[in-house]
Chains A and B, each alone.
Chain A
Amino acid sequence: MINEANKPESLHHANESGPPMDNAIIPEKDLFQLNRRRFLEAAGFTFSAVALSGCTRPDPELALPFAELPEGIRPGQKLTYASSCVDFPSGCGLLVSVRDGRPLKMEGMPEHPLSKGGLNAVAQALPLGLYDSHRLKNPLRLGKKSEWKDVDEAILKTLSSVKDSGDAVRVVTPTVTGPTLKEAIDTFLKQFKDGSHITLDTVSHSAILDAHEKTHGARVLPHYLLSGAKVIVSFGADFLGTWISPVEFTADWRTNRVPIEDDPQMSYHAHFEGRVSLTGGKADRRYRLAPDEFGTVLNHLYAMLSEKAGKKVETAKLRKSPIAEADLTSLAERLWDARGESILLCDSQDVAVQVVVNAINHLLDNYGKTLDITKPSLQAQGNDREVLKLIDELKAGKIAALFVAGTDLTHNLPEHGKLAEAISKVRLVVSLNERNDDFSSIAHFVCPDHHLLESWLDAEPVSGLVSLSQPLLQPLGNTRSILESFALWSGNKSSAYEILRTSWEKNILPRSKSKSFRKFWDQSVHDGFIEASSVAPKVSEFKTEAVALSPQAKPDEYCLSLYTKVGLTDSRHAHNPWLQELPDPITKVTWDNYVSLSPTTAEKLGVSDGDVVSVEAGGSNVELPALVQRGQHDRVISIALAYGVKGTDRFAKIGPQWLESRLTVAEGELVGKNAAPLISTANGSLSLTRDDVAIAKTDKRHELAKTQEYHSMELPKNIAPYGGEYRDVVESTTLAAYKDDPEAGMHEKHFDTSVQLWPDDHPKKGHQWGMSIDLNVCTGCSACVVACQSENNVPVVGKDEVYRQREMHWMRIDRYIDGEDDDIQVSHQPMMCQHCDNAPCETVCPVLATTHSSEGLNEQVYNRCVGTRYCANNCPYKVRRFNWFNYSHEDSLVNLALNPDVTVRARGVMEKCSMCVQRIEEGKIDAKRRGVELTDGDIQTACQQSCPAKAITFGDMNDSKSEIHTTLDNPRKYGVLEEFNFRQGVSYLRVVRNREEGDSGEGGHSNHDAHKHSEVTPSNSNNIVNLDEKRTSETGGKHV
């Protein structure tokens, strides 16, 4: 990625002494090497700078595009800068593509030790958040536009009175990992007698930290090292989707999930959950278990493992385990066998439960191996007790000044009315949020922070890994960095850049091996992160006495489970239409949150998809449409947080407006409803799970817009033809079968597709681009969907158009749910243009608007397309997208997020995945310019680049050294609808589940497949013997 041509460089070459504007142009080392040319350049520029600074506000850290280009840089050329995603505590490494001073595309940084080149959907959507005209452009005073001078004056005046009176000052933020920001807040708070910094996360992991305080004597969050885990058992922790650091965990989890022919090994992943999460769907064995019963099952598991460790634990008092004892015993055995190579994860917010989790991990000798608490994770530092204390203090009127940054306090906490009333009693309420959100609207002052891509910030997601975020353009509005705001209120008028540099020189440099700060700094800005030494927290030996198996309370009729969606992890991103329109990977619903119910419960309540139900808990009531979700626990009612965000009614008319169109957001409503009022504050935690919940059907309806209408590979029973009941578009097998035959699970083939009528007609010379997607590691996280949308200018169409099945995503993720309710298998399949050599779309276009390139690409010529849609009808994969309307943009600012390399399509033309042909051409031109051969990896498609699981391989199939070439021989390789001889350029690698053949609930599919396979390879006598055995054992099975 980082090559000579687009070498990441700071736009902000340090140059404190130079003229204000030329720091972006003259590299430091050249400053004093004046020659005639350089002198004239500098003189000319200084002149214009003086002229300009006469009429604009002088700014010491202007981020400007190169006004005069250094040699080798062309206008319009893509420059890549290293940064990091400090908006999220997980702190992924970023490579930002900037073109003519516009950040356009977020890419993962392959060198980053945590994210390893991956990036999630939310980070991919950052540019749209940047070019959002609804971000605040000015500070506000009592809701009115104001000046920084006036706002600061007023705040400082109140603060000095607070200082004098010694009253309480509170700063509330989500988890802050950046040492500099932490220091700035601490410095600010130190001015006051009673000042403290409170961390409030949308999803609190407070219990894990509290449990470690009990068991290890330090309030730390372990750094989970999934790459070392051969057995992963998760209780509700959606570690591939939303839990703590999903990108990092996905990359680590992947390392043990790719079976190779010579050594077919895979980690085993068992998952217990109430709702259906991304991670649960990906598990080898998913158990339905309501979150309020995690404790019971964990207690039994602990007891079993203790017994193995030679310590008998009294279990008589415990409630009976809802999971079959045989299942638990075999799981305990697996865990015990993989001591030191296993990991137990749990998202419970009950400290007692987390203590048992720690005890089990301790029993299994995992600490120091798969859980690191000497270099702990800093990605979740929320402390529920402190938050609850703050609420009490607010209610008691004890707080004099409240500063909130990066979280919509009143939106994210329950008891909205009481809280707002309590806040109204606070003398000084300041919001540093980017938007006029719910909290900002009741704050006295809003001091909007820069967008991440406009800020200098740092992050330390895991102890010892410090990363930098650099601004990539001049702030679009009159906003101010949070660092500057807190520094100013502490009496320091430095710029964010200076504050960061000072802090790094003082704090980070000593932790590194470097001596010279300038070199260290330049290197850090270039790389985006550094590995530094860290002080290990004082961790004691495991305190066994802390572990007490308390009998869990008897579960109620229902159990509410609140969660965040993969595409919307935080209410701050609710203003991003890419994320709102991103289908949830499991439910495929866009533009809404909803109440997920199991089919049984839905039937009991008499509701179906779209019937509004009322959920009542703790005196609060939320009315949301129901969604029937296969695989959901019958007692569990799950609702996504981060919806119903103030201001999202702006999306009402985001889609095309015509005769029959319906608004994306109904009059007087918002996108979804806020479920935070249902958060339980009992037991000293902000619990997303509670039992005291009631649900009732209402007579209202609210249609949900899903991108997929049919959810299974099994055809509807009443119309399925005999023998064709199951369409294995996602082929799968089990590890046991794979060990016997790496090609197990292969689709039954009726035709020999190797024979061609005119094989020499189109010789496959030169480049032949191809793609392969490993379905075994694809989690369905949808990062690729947003990456593609960002790269290829895919429009947002609004809820009504999605409801009419007209979403425009070039890359979609097909999701199938099969199997029995208590053991479902979820299959994800990224689906985009398959670039068939025998493309059905190409022959039918009357005007030759879709043709085949000599490099194996199926090309769509927008200019030539007249829009007959015949190609889309004839596409077996239904990947072609038609421009039904001219999709308008909200305003011209959004247009800045458009990629200039890709045409914006007009109404009436067909479009589809081009395999990022613009990147292919760029790569080829670049190689030609440099006079070298293209090498594998020079060209990466947008979807491939940021896939956290590295499931997508792209390259030249004719290049024998390429990775894609080797996948052609992978025994797991197959093509969807291969038997039709479309000869696709995209292939898939079969799913392998780490299960035994006889495992219940596999639905017989894999057996069925294996049986089919054995038919086509009759030479494999082993298989036939197996087959007969299977037949006798499966006679009652529905697929035999």
Chain B
Amino acid sequence: MSETSPLRPALVTGDKSLGDITNDISAPMAGTPSPLWWAAFLIAFSALVLGVVAVTYQIATGIGTWGLNKTVGWAFDITNFVFWVGIGHAGTLISAVLFLFRQKWRTAVNRSAEAMTLFAVMCAGLFPLIHMGRPWLAFWMLPYPNERGSLWVNFKSPLLWDVFAISTYLSVSAVFWYIGLIPDFATIRDKTKPGLRKTIFSILAFGWDGSARTWLRYETVYLLLAGLATPLVFSVHSIVSMDFATAVLPGWHTTIFPPYFVAGAIFSGLAMVLTLMLIARKTMRLEDYITVKHVERMCLLMLSMGCIVGLAYGTEFFIAAYGGNAYEQFVFMNRALGPMNWAYWTMVTCNVLIPQVLWFKSVRTSLPLVFVITIFVNIGMWFERFVIIVTSLHRDFLPSSWAHYIPSLVEIATLIGSFGLFFTLFLLFCRIAPAIAIAEVKDAANVKKREILLEARNEPPQIIDTDPIPANVDPSMGC
């Protein structure tokens, strides 16, 4: 696609040829799955079943099976929603934004990040649906012509904006993901013996012929879609944040929310991508494609987002103090020192304090440590939403209506179920589609370039066993 200096460190290690790359990446799709995959799938699927049971029971019985009350009308439901939407942000960020910024290292992770986006948004979309008192009437949220005197939806409601934002994001992410998959589907099609499997991949490959014209069209479309998806990264979570920011509730009613939520979303998304990458790397033997250097880049991005989030936490307190609104001041005092302060301090510890260790290169390159940190960030970011939603609601204007909140078993099972859905889908994805974008990795792996270099030296490529790129080159990859 573009020229890359040979001085750049290799993004793919292990000295792969183009054929190796194809074979390595498509390996998990063929043959029987490994016991590790089965174990993971069983756990994930059990969690999904638990969630399905919980949600079925809840829809059959009533929202009362959740721990909500007259004062706290949202808790786990919307927390999970915002959490999953946030997770879904890294995918598009990595595929679209980093693509536009010509960050080649993204190729190792963009496919799984996009898949993750898709599944996370699916999980997220579930919660607004099931949190309704009458979910069977959820289609009333759509502005469609109807016979109820043409009863329209309320365009002033941020919940409606959510409907548009989430559905747009889901469809654009799905198209973007699919377009990216087309050359890979074609590769697999070509590798597969005739039969049903080949037919399916032929259809999915959309008649890809690998000609220069096809490539040209493909790359134009991909670039355009990347351009289209980029604003969504910022708009979706901004709109989600308006669910809160446009409300009158102290603790929700703040103008900082859109950037704060976007930063938080990217933060949590990156953490989740890292978590998954580190697992996939080990379980699917992709160490050569997802290298320590990739992980380090991601860590730096995560660190910067973590600092933005930390700044946002501080700003909230400052504005509450500076703004002079006693109700708002109380909400923040209550968050930090009130009965639910444990949630607040969990959030601060996980999101702001722990990621600070990423300033050290030794930590960034230690994969087990990074894994632990990403788990902390995932937990912290879930708590961030919980803190915003529940601690603002449970003690609002009139002291008479203050209430406590304790989640019910059904709510906890639903949260577990959403993880089950996410991982089940992700594990299935690993089996039916290439988890790494083969075409893009090939481009980034500089195989061709190396071949040309080697050719110039009149040496046959297959006997080269040393890395032609000096190992001590500055690892910085940024523009």
B452 contacts the other chain (Cβ, under 8 Å)?
no
Binding stretch for chain B, among A79-87, A704-712, A951-959? A704-712
CB distance from B212 to the nearest CB of A (A): 49
Partner of A807, one of B70, B329, B410: B70
Q: How far, in whole Å, are A656 and B137 apart by their CA atoms in the complex?
A: 23
Contact A844 B398 (CB under 8 A): no
Q: How far, in whole Å, are A781 and B7 apart by their CA atoms in the complex?
A: 84
B131 contacts the other chain (Cβ, under 8 Å)?
yes
On chain A, the residues within 8 Å of B243 by CB distance are 870
On chain A, the residues within 8 Å of B131 by CB distance are 868-869
Number of interface residues of A (CB under 8 A): 66
Contact A882 B156 (CB under 8 A): no
On chain B, the residues within 8 Å of A894 by CB distance are none
Q: How far, in whole Å, are A829 and B400 apart by their CA atoms in the complex?
A: 10
Take A844-B157, A885-B64 as given contacts and tell me if A864 and B246 are in contact as well, using a CB distance cutoff of 8 Å: no
B314 contacts the other chain (Cβ, under 8 Å)?
no
Partner of A806, one of B64, B128, B327, B396: B64
Contact A848 B399 (CB under 8 A): no
Q: How far, in whole Å, are A815 and B61 apart by their CA atoms in the complex?
A: 33
Number of interface residues of B (CB under 8 A): 60
Contact A864 B70 (CB under 8 A): no
Contact A843 B157 (CB under 8 A): yes
Contact A873 B63 (CB under 8 A): no
Q: How far, in whole Å, are A781 and B408 apart by their CA atoms in the complex?
A: 35
Interface string of A220-236 (1 = CB under 8 A from B): 00000000000000000
The closest CB in chain A to the CB of B335 belongs to A719
CB contact list, A828-887 vs B, under 8 A: 829, 831, 840, 843-848, 864-870, 872-874, 876-878, 880-886
B403 contacts the other chain (Cβ, under 8 Å)?
yes
Interface string of B141-178 (1 = CB under 8 A from A): 10000000001111011111001000000000000000
CB distance from B252 to the nearest CB of A (A): 8
Contact A805 B337 (CB under 8 A): no
The closest CB in chain A to the CB of B160 belongs to A846
CB contact list, A968-995 vs B, under 8 A: 976-977, 980
The closest CB in chain A to the CB of B73 belongs to A869
A700 contacts the other chain (Cβ, under 8 Å)?
no
B62 contacts the other chain (Cβ, under 8 Å)?
yes
Contact A848 B403 (CB under 8 A): no
Partner of A878, one of B71, B132, B333: B71
Contact A716 B62 (CB under 8 A): no
B346 contacts the other chain (Cβ, under 8 Å)?
no
The closest CB in chain B to the CB of A807 belongs to B70
- The main secondary structure of chain A at its interface with chain B is loop
B352 contacts the other chain (Cβ, under 8 Å)?
no
Contact B398 A724 (CB under 8 A): no
The closest CB in chain B to the CB of A976 belongs to B398
Contact A873 B403 (CB under 8 A): no
B198 contacts the other chain (Cβ, under 8 Å)?
no
Most buried by B among A721, A724, A882: A721
Interface string of A702-733 (1 = CB under 8 A from B): 00000011111101101111011001010000
B279 contacts the other chain (Cβ, under 8 Å)?
no
B371 contacts the other chain (Cβ, under 8 Å)?
no
Q: How far, in whole Å, are A807 and B396 apart by their CA atoms in the complex?
A: 18
Partner of A719, one of B57, B159, B330, B399: B330
Q: How far, in whole Å, are A282 and B243 apart by their CA atoms in the complex?
A: 42
Contact A908 B63 (CB under 8 A): yes
B379 contacts the other chain (Cβ, under 8 Å)?
no
On chain A, the residues within 8 Å of B246 by CB distance are 843-844
Contact A872 B70 (CB under 8 A): yes
Q: How far, in whole Å, are A878 and B247 apart by their CA atoms in the complex?
A: 14
On chain B, the residues within 8 Å of A594 by CB distance are none
Contact A864 B248 (CB under 8 A): no
Contact A885 B61 (CB under 8 A): yes
Q: How far, in whole Å, are A660 and B66 apart by their CA atoms in the complex?
A: 10
A1039 contacts the other chain (Cβ, under 8 Å)?
no
Q: How far, in whole Å, are A832 and B132 apart by their CA atoms in the complex?
A: 24
Partner of A877, one of B153, B334, B397, B408: B397
The closest CB in chain B to the CB of A878 belongs to B401
Contact B64 A719 (CB under 8 A): no
Partner of B247, one of A829, A844, A877, A880: A844
Contact B400 A815 (CB under 8 A): yes
On chain B, the residues within 8 Å of A710 by CB distance are 395, 399-400, 402
Contact A866 B137 (CB under 8 A): yes
Contact A845 B69 (CB under 8 A): no
The closest CB in chain A to the CB of B67 belongs to A804
Take A716-B338, A843-B157 as given contacts and tell me if A866 and B248 are in contact as well, using a CB distance cutoff of 8 Å: no
CB distance from B360 to the nearest CB of A (A): 36
Contact A864 B400 (CB under 8 A): no
CB contact list, A612-663 vs B, under 8 A: 656, 658-660
Q: How far, in whole Å, are A812 and B71 apart by their CA atoms in the complex?
A: 14
On chain A, the residues within 8 Å of B18 by CB distance are none
A248 contacts the other chain (Cβ, under 8 Å)?
no
Contact B248 A847 (CB under 8 A): no
Interface string of A240-261 (1 = CB under 8 A from B): 0000000000000000000000
Contact B62 A847 (CB under 8 A): no
Q: How far, in whole Å, are A112 and B156 apart by their CA atoms in the complex?
A: 51
Contact B63 A847 (CB under 8 A): no
A814 contacts the other chain (Cβ, under 8 Å)?
yes
Contact A876 B330 (CB under 8 A): no
On chain A, the residues within 8 Å of B157 by CB distance are 843-846, 870
Take A659-B57, A867-B63, A884-B62 as given contacts and tell me if A907 and B133 are in contact as well, using a CB distance cutoff of 8 Å: yes
Q: How far, in whole Å, are A882 and B77 apart by their CA atoms in the complex?
A: 16
B453 contacts the other chain (Cβ, under 8 Å)?
no
Take A831-B400, A844-B159 as given contacts and tell me if A864 and B133 are in contact as well, using a CB distance cutoff of 8 Å: no
The closest CB in chain A to the CB of B62 belongs to A885
On chain B, the residues within 8 Å of A812 by CB distance are 400
Q: How far, in whole Å, are A806 and B334 apart by their CA atoms in the complex?
A: 23
Partner of B133, one of A727, A831, A865: A865
On chain A, the residues within 8 Å of B402 by CB distance are 709-710
The closest CB in chain B to the CB of A876 belongs to B397
Q: How far, in whole Å, are A719 and B338 apart by their CA atoms in the complex?
A: 7
Take A805-B70, A846-B141 as given contacts and tell me if A874 and B249 are in contact as well, using a CB distance cutoff of 8 Å: yes
A816 contacts the other chain (Cβ, under 8 Å)?
yes
Partner of B132, one of A656, A866, A976: A866
Contact B159 A870 (CB under 8 A): yes
CB distance from A620 to the nearest CB of B (A): 36
Q: How far, in whole Å, are A806 and B73 apart by their CA atoms in the complex?
A: 10
A909 contacts the other chain (Cβ, under 8 Å)?
yes
CB distance from A1016 to the nearest CB of B (A): 16
Take A866-B134, A877-B397, A884-B63 as given contacts and tell me if A843 and B156 are in contact as well, using a CB distance cutoff of 8 Å: yes
Contact A709 B403 (CB under 8 A): yes
Q: How far, in whole Å, are A872 and B326 apart by their CA atoms in the complex?
A: 22
On chain B, the residues within 8 Å of A908 by CB distance are 62-63, 132-134
Partner of B154, one of A848, A873, A906: A848
Take A659-B409, A710-B400 as given contacts and tell me if A883 and B333 are in contact as well, using a CB distance cutoff of 8 Å: no
Take A719-B333, A907-B62 as given contacts and tell me if A867 and B134 are in contact as well, using a CB distance cutoff of 8 Å: yes
On chain A, the residues within 8 Å of B132 by CB distance are 866-868, 908
Most buried by A among B69, B131, B133: B133
17 further A-B contacts with Cβ under 8 Å, apart from A843-B157, A844-B159, are A658-B64, A658-B65, A659-B57, A659-B408, A712-B399, A729-B400, A805-B70, A815-B400, A829-B400, A846-B159, A846-B163, A847-B153, A866-B138, A870-B157, A878-B398, A882-B70, A907-B134
A-B CB contact pairs (8 Å), 16 listed: A658-B65, A659-B408, A659-B410, A660-B408, A806-B69, A816-B400, A829-B400, A843-B156, A846-B157, A848-B153, A869-B68, A873-B74, A884-B62, A886-B62, A907-B62, A907-B134
5 closest cross-chain pairs (CB), A and B? A867-B133, A908-B133, A724-B326, A884-B64, A721-B329
Interface residues of B (CB under 8 A from A): 57, 61-65, 67-71, 73-74, 128, 131-135, 137-138, 140-141, 151-154, 156-160, 163, 243, 246-249, 326-327, 329-330, 333-334, 337-338, 393, 395-404, 408-410
